[in-house]
Each structure stands twice: as structure tokens, then as C-alpha cells.
Structure 1
């Protein structure tokens, strides 16, 4: 029987993030893992996660589940994409084989019954995921119910840039509908659009490819090339203004603790809320 995920892929309605994450694992190293750990500690304002429970919704490569586990948390990872689940399982196998404090499941954040069955967590983390579900506001509501009182919710959501966001949505949809042999028609012009200004700026400063080579230090250990593929292919695609996210969670009993915006650009705004 074909799964809902497979049906969406076959209908060209969803990007296969897991394939991208699988390639990312080929460049993952200790330095990138350390950057991921550092970003968690900075945003959560914690020196470690000893004694905490950590829910990673949309675990992707598994990098941040791994980072949380290395920081001492008891981790539960879930992802809708079977290949992303496999990536997370691969990292557990590499770094925490046979560890009973790290569980991994294939599941959807749009299934509220499943989420409720997990109980509540001290930290719920979902970076760059909920806007790809096809039902972002439902997903945002579902995650609000699995945070312990006094616990933290760390999410990131694509910024709403008006007409430009709508154009990118069309580009992403087009990319996913093309056969693999023709995806370069969308990918390479997008890559040039995204990286040419920065590359030229680095050259003028006498530091060729400086931003490219140091990208992982400012992006939670990520890879510049695979982030471009993730951005261009990332569909379904929804966006929100920071104030919309703030109001949504304030009405559900959350207090905003930390906010990092993308300065009005196309990237993600990061939010850390506390359940009060």
C-alpha cells in the first residue's frame, strides 16, 4: 500500500528532504556537530540539557537530535520523511548505538493523537519544519500541546516577504514538478541569485569565498550547497510574519524569551517561547 508521503512525492507535491539530508551526512564532522550544540545552548540559554527531555519534530539529518543527546537530553526524534528517519537512525548508530535514551520514529506533526501519546517535553524543537507540512497553522497548534509547564518551544518559520514569498513558492512548486534531469533549470539560476552578491562582496574585500567556507559557523553547522537545494526544493511552503507567530503563541499561554529575525529577508525567524 502506498503511503501518503509516497503519494505526495509521486504527485510532485512534496520535496524529498531526506535525500538532501542523506547527502549532507557525507560532510558532517565533529566541528559541525559542535556548532549545532553551540546554537542550541545559545538560543535556549542553557549550558547543557542534562536531565531534560527533548522532542525533535522533523529531525531531518538527525544533527540536532544528536546535539541534544550529546548535551545530556533524553531525545525523541520524529520525521514524516522515511529517508530523514533513516538519516537520524544512522547518526544514532554512529554516535549512540543501542542507546535507550534516544528514540526515533516515522510520524507526522499533523497527527495530534500521536503527539499527545508522547506526553510532554522540557524542550520541543522544530527548526524550519512546520512551514513545510502543508498545514502550517495546524502544525503550530499541535506542537503547543506537548511542552511541559515552564518548558521551552524552539521553532523557526520562514519570513513573510509578501509578493517575493509568493514568487518563491511558484519557483519551488516548479522545481518539484520537473523531472530530475531538468531540475538544474531552476536550481542553478536560483543558486546564482542567492550566492552571487555575497561572492562578489567577498571578492571585493579580498576574501574570496570567505562566507562560503565559513558558512557552517553561522548556520548551526549546515552546508551552503545543501541549504540552497533545501531552499529551492522546499515545498510545501508557507510563511508568517514574526508578530503573527508571537500573537499565536501568546494566546496559547506562551511567553516569548528570544527572537532572532532574518532582518526582513527570505530566511527563517527563530523563536524561543516558554510555556507559562
Structure 2
């Protein structure tokens, strides 16, 4: 079920978490090992067999490791993001590893801006991990991405899981976090120790999603506590949305009712939509 009331509340609030600052912190931690792990996560979820001529779109840009990982695996990657600072981080990272690479285009853009999307090409793989649920109007963002996917192409998205009443509580936590330094410090002091311990245990004894993706637990915790706007969806709602548009599910991993992102890989129809 779509959380329209929560979305309207967040639109009125007009506040937003500084993801750019988080991306800049993570950029300092990126190394060859993290990039290799990011590449492996793409291979596993997309189950690629051949990459010749593959065109990839990274929607949201994040801090750049997945744009770079995708470019290392495929001949052409186009990345765009909403935050100018985040786009700058992606440009800096890709420029460091692939100076003057014409196969990697990185620019600013808004997935909610249809005019912006109309200027883009279509792609064999469209990727957006953990970004569209921060656009306020997530379902519109998901619908807008259809125009970017080639016939028979793949769409890989990761979206926050809907925990019902608990998700509503997290909205309050996130709103408090972004109010100011004092509120932010209080939220971190209360919640961060639990999440840090939880992430550390997973990192050591299991193949957690963060370890698979080459991300950083500290950054992920701060992104979770402050990540706002915050829109959520249950797996069945996402499946129903894409099936309604004739997409087929290739692969799905869920967080089993907990907080975090459910991952979906869909295949676009091979006929005109």
C-alpha cells in the first residue's frame, strides 16, 4: 500500500538530509577492494553473461563506486544525480581511476523532471540503489524510469522496506535528526551504538549486504538515521506496480520484514509499452 499521507507530510516539511556530506566522507574510504566488491555485487544481482555493447544508467549517482564499477564491467555508463556535491564526488572518483574516459558520462539530473529524462538515451540496464525512496514522490520516480529502459532491458532498484507503524516512527526520528546539531547528536547517541554493534557483527560473521556492496557501516548508519525524505514500500506493492506495467521479476532479495532495502531486478517487456 502506498504511504500517500506520509509522502504529503514530507512534502510539506520541505526538509532534506545532507547526503552530499555523507558521500564526501565515503569517498575518502573508497579503494580497489571496495570497487571490486561493488563489481561483484552487480554481477551477482544482474547475472550478466555478456557485456559487449551494454549501456548502463546509474540513477542517483550516490558517491560514485557503482558508476565506476559498472564502467569497469561495461563499455558505457551514464550517471546522474540530484545533489551537485554527490555528482562532484562521482566525477572525482571516476576521474581518478579513468581519466578522460569518454565511456563514462556523469551529470546532474532529477528523476522527477520528465523534461530532463526526455533528453537521455535508453539503456540496457538502469540501476538505482537506495536513492528513489529519498525523492519524496517515489512512485512517480519509479514510473519515470520506464522511459530509460530499453526493450528487454533490466531494471535494478533497491527500496526501503515498509515496516508499517515502525516506519512512521522512523520518519519522526529522521525529522528530529535534520533539525539541527543538538538534535542530530542526540539521535546518534541514542541509536548509533545499537546499529554499529549490529553492523559489526554482521560484517564479521556473515556476508551482509553492506559487505557485499563494498559500502561503509558508519556511513550507512548515519544515512539511515538522517535519510530524509523517507518513503517506504512492501515487496508485494513493488511487485504489483511493476507487473502492472508488464515487467517480469528476475530476482528479488528482501530484508524479511526488518529495516533496510529490498532489492529487485526486473526485465522490461520486449514489445512497445
CA contact (8 A) 2:210 2:216 kept: no
CA contact (8 A) 2:161 2:234 kept: yes
TM-score by length of 1: 0.88
The 3-state SS of whatever aligns with 1:49 is coil
CA contact (8 A) 1:198 1:211 kept: no
Matches within 5 A, 1:16-35: 16-35=18-37
CA contact (8 A) 2:135 2:141 kept: yes
Let me know the Cα RMSD of the aligned residues.
2.1
1:4 is matched with none
2:215 is matched with 222
Distance in 2 between the 1:182 and 1:247 partners? 38
Pair 1:103-2:126 in alignment: no
Q: Which moved more, 1:180-189 or 1:112-121?
A: 180-189
Pair 1:192-2:186 in alignment: no
Shift in CA distance, 73/244, structure 1 to aligned 2, threshold 3 Å: farther
1:210 to 199, 204, 207: 204
Shift in CA distance, 197/151, structure 1 to aligned 2, threshold 3 Å: closer
1:249 is matched with 242
CA contact (8 A) 1:41 1:48 kept: no
Shift in CA distance, 49/174, structure 1 to aligned 2, threshold 3 Å: farther
Distance in 2 between the 1:106 and 1:72 partners? 21
Pair 1:137-2:131 in alignment: no
Distance in 2 between the 1:42 and 1:64 partners? 14
CA contact (8 A) 2:55 2:74 kept: no
Matches within 5 A, 1:35-184: 35-47=37-49, 49-178=51-180, 180=181, 182-184=183-185
1:3 is matched with none
Shift in CA distance, 12/250, structure 1 to aligned 2, threshold 3 Å: closer
TM-score by length of 2: 0.89
Distance in 2 between the 1:33 and 1:197 partners? 24
Shift in CA distance, 230/197, structure 1 to aligned 2, threshold 3 Å: closer
CA contact (8 A) 1:50 1:71 kept: no
| Structure 2 unaligned residues grouped into runs of 5+ | 1-9
